[in-house]
Amino acid sequence: MKLGKLALAASALAAITGLPAVPVRADERIVVEHQGVERMATLHQPSKRPAGPAPLIVALHGLGQSIEVLHDWLHLDAAAEHTGFNVVYPEAIGRKWNYGRPIKDPQPTVNGKTVDDVGFIRSLLDGLVSMKVADPARIYVTGMSRGGLMTYTASRLPRR
């Protein structure tokens, strides 16, 4: 995973052009089992998507923020419709990402263990790559607030 200029450019494009945040087609819910629990993500693929794997932006919500609010803030779906990239919106347990360094509250837990959000995102991406949705050489991560902290953590991970 890497933080790239594409995510920032897409968000800026949507904001500048005033593109609507409403997706042109229905988004797909993805379920990934990780740490013994079902984790959710929402995938937006443009209606006129190119054949084969496409660039993918992973959009991470802020603390307590819903995916719907993130859609409204970033306008990535509308930009994706115009430029042909995919967007996935993973959901943190309790809307609180575990980026590895607690600020004031303890990190979230599941089944008595600290939530492994890095592992969840990797599993999600592995699945999207194997389904030929995402081009592994063109995966970008962006986030708001605590999702930004998770973005920083993800951007510093070694590539597989």
Does the residue 160 lie in any domain? no
pLDDT score for 27: 86
Does the residue 90 lie in any domain? yes
Check residues 21 and 128 and name the one with the higher pLDDT.
Answer: 128
Number of domains in the chain: 1
pLDDT score for 33: 95
Q: How far apart are CA 25 and CA 49, in angstroms?
A: 12
pLDDT score for 65: 93
Does the residue 107 lie in any domain? yes
Does the residue 119 lie in any domain? yes
Contacts of 131 (CB under 8 A, 6+ apart): none
Percentage of residues of the chain with pLDDT beyond 70: 79
Does the residue 49 lie in any domain? yes
Does the residue 21 lie in any domain? yes
Does the residue 84 lie in any domain? yes
Q: Could you read off the pLDDT of 3-28 as tens digits, one per residue?
A: 334 444 444 444 544 544 443 446 89
Q: How far apart are CA 27 and CA 101, in angstroms?
A: 32
Give me the domain span that covers residue 70: 5-155
Q: What is the CATH number of the domain that holds 52?
A: 3.40.50.1820
Residue 116: pLDDT over 80: yes
